[in-house]
Amino acid sequence: MAADRTTSAEKAPDVHARQIAGLDALELGGAAGRPAGRLWSGVWGRLWPMLLAAGIVLALWQGVVWSGRWPEYVFAGPAETFGTLGERLSTPEYWQAVAVTMRRAVTGFAVSVLAGLVVGALVSRVRVLRAAFGSLITGLQTMPSIAWFPLAILLFGLTESAITFVVILGAAPSIANGLIAGVDYTPPILLRAGHVLGFRRLRLYLHVILPASLPSFLAGLKQGWAFAWRSLMAGELVVIIAHQSSLGERLYYDRELADSAGLLATMIVILVIGIGIDLLFETADGALRRRWGLRQARD
């Protein structure tokens, strides 16, 4: 018994440290580094379902064309459409139209982010504003953006400002809402931890609440982008500005000229840009989840 007591009482510190290190190593055992080649298999794993889906859509498309429901000059097939797409992509004018649309999208979205941040921050922090505008912002999200155009055109005429106005109204509420939801759902335990550490009011907001709402904010950005892109396309179809070709304007004239292949080609471009940017958001979201440990090892 005496011997027993001395061994435990005189547990040398480094033995203690080693014992702890040993337990730690055991507990971390499962979390070995990712095997090499994982990146490529990850990319391929995501790529092939997309290719498969594209293949099925093309087959269906060709099938409908062959069925003869519509004459070929009204509904062009894939081969003709991609031919036209190739031709258009080889002209600088078409790239200029894409550039104009992208410029509008980026500026409109940037302003939306700014507006969404400011409004979201104010509404989530100031109780009176919250009561007044909280449900209004949610309500704005349900408003179809095309319904804003008559007003926008009255206010700004047939100008780019009218389009930007509607893009912002389409995107900003989602972005603000993402931030507000993130603030609302900040885990109480983190708030308490921040409070105990000595963070109060604005500092608590900046150092704890805002970072904690990042995932929700990112989801809001993603949704905001989708709304911005839709509003922009609607706007470019409605507001045709002379000497400034854009993707929406191309769609409009292709329909006027009954250029079925050109119309479908432009639609493909619009779809691809939308998907591409959505993938960017998805990647950012995935990276965030990995950093925060919100994602399972295998999914």
Helix (H) or strand (E) holding 122: helix 92-125
Of 28 and 154, which CB lies nearer to another protein in the complex structure?
A: 28
CB of 6 to another protein, least distance (A): 11
User: Which tokens go with 135?
Assistant: 């449900």
CB of 203 to another protein, least distance (A): 7
- Write the DSSP string, 14-73: HHHHHHHHHHHHHHHTT-PPPPTTHHHHHHHHHHHHHHHHHHHHHHHHHHHHHHTSS-TT
Query: Between the CA atoms of 142, 230, 281 and 37, what dihedral angle is there, to the nearest 10 degrees?
Result: 130
Of 38 and 46, which CB lies nearer to another protein in the complex structure?
A: 38
CB of 18 to another protein, least distance (A): 9
Q: How many CA atoms lie within 13 A of 214 on its CB side?
A: 15
Cβ neighbours for 209, distance < 8 A, ≥ 6 positions apart: 183, 186, 191
Question: Among candidates 140, 147, 101, which has minimal Cα distance to 273?
Answer: 101
Site of interaction with another protein (CB under 8 A): 5, 8-9, 11, 16-17, 19-21, 23-24, 27-28, 31, 189-190, 192-199, 203, 207-208, 211-212, 214, 291-294
CB of 16 to another protein, least distance (A): 7
CB of 1 to another protein, least distance (A): 9
Of 30 and 92, which CB lies nearer to another protein in the complex structure?
A: 30
Of 39 and 189, which CB lies nearer to another protein in the complex structure?
A: 189
Of 214 and 240, which CB lies nearer to another protein in the complex structure?
A: 214
Question: Among candidates 293, 124, 129, which has minimal Cα distance to 204?
Answer: 124
